[in-house]
Amino acid sequence: MKDQTYRNTKQRKRILEVLSMTDIHPTASWVYDQLKPEFPSLSLGTVYRNLAILEEQGLLIKLHSGSTFDRYDAMVSPHAHFVCKVCGGLFDIKDMELGELKHSAEIKTRHHIEDVKLTYTGVCDDCLNKEMKD
Amino acid sequence: MKDQTYRNTKQRKRILEVLSMTDIHPTASWVYDQLKPEFPSLSLGTVYRNLAILEEQGLLIKLHSGSTFDRYDAMVSPHAHFVCKVCGGLFDIKDMELGELKHSAEIKTRHHIEDVKLTYTGVCDDCLNKEMKD
DNA sequence: ATAATTGCAAAGGATTTGCAATGCA
DNA sequence: TGCATTGCAAATCCTTTGCAATTAT
């Protein structure tokens, strides 16, 4: 399973494209809904399998949103995330120095660190404003 | 459901105790296995319900380990985690300045941040040493 | 006494998987 | 052609939930 040759299927290509064109960090199901009109016989299983392969290839990142389902992010350069506990929105936070964090943790521990995930939780700007009206 | 009064059941008390006495960040199922001899009629549902209540009370934290199941941590003071992709171990990393991170993110965004989760992934010290023997 | 909690079993829901058919390389 | 991939459906697995019985306050 290591030195497997990947093929370029229409489905996989479009799944990555659809994911690259949004910043809402969608679920597998959302991706499926987007592509179902284009591939009427598309199945959720195919979407999941391709998301896993694309993750393996380093072309996307799987996010644990705090809910029961996973989300996917095609912006693979290291960055932090914010999850709003009111609307469920998941936003990017750029310019956070994850590389620095990784370095300081690597000297603090003796582990070999490959990845850093930084996730904030709270109430987003929009929901804060809406709450103030109540 | 907000101003509910919690009761002090033996089960809940022991669940928190068991969790406080380990640093392996166990799953609900592990907690269940620990307490089953003590409460022969204990059910997994009860464990899950109590873990949820204890989390609500701020007495423990739920961790998304990267696998399909959740883990729980009774050390509630802010700290980072490391997950080993080889052995599945989940370790604490103390002395990481999560408070600082929270502050800098709060001025960078306009969101109200309540919580920070910092998780590293890689290969732990032990597994690194074992791999070197191959 | 009142309402939270338990135990049990069944339901739920996201994700995975087996297998025959399909289609890249 | 060979083998990765698809589609479909069933299976998996962790977690949640309804309900009657129990128990803390």
For B17-70, the pLDDT digits (tens) are 999 999 999 999 999 999 999 999 999 999 999 999 999 999 999 998 888 899
Most A CBs within 10 Å, among B98, B117, B119, to test the A interface: B117
Our measurement of the distance from residue B74's CA atom to the centroid of its chain's CA atoms, rounded to an integer in Å, reads: 6
Helix A10-20 / helix A28-35 crossing angle, nearest 10 deg:
110
Mean pLDDT value across chain B: 92
Of the candidates A115, A113, A40, which has an alpha carbon nearest to the alpha carbon of residue A76? A115
Model pLDDT for residues A56-115, shown as the tens digit of each residue: 999 999 998 888 899 999 999 989 999 999 999 999 998 778 888 999 899 999 999 999
Predicted structure pTM score: 0.91
A125 has a chain B CB within 8 A of its CB: yes
Mean pLDDT value across chain A: 92
B119 has a chain A CB within 8 A of its CB: yes
Phi, psi (rounded to 5 degrees) for A80: -90, 165
Confidence band for A1, pLDDT divided at 50, 70 and 90: very low
pLDDT of B99 strictly over 80 = yes
DSSP state, residue A92: E
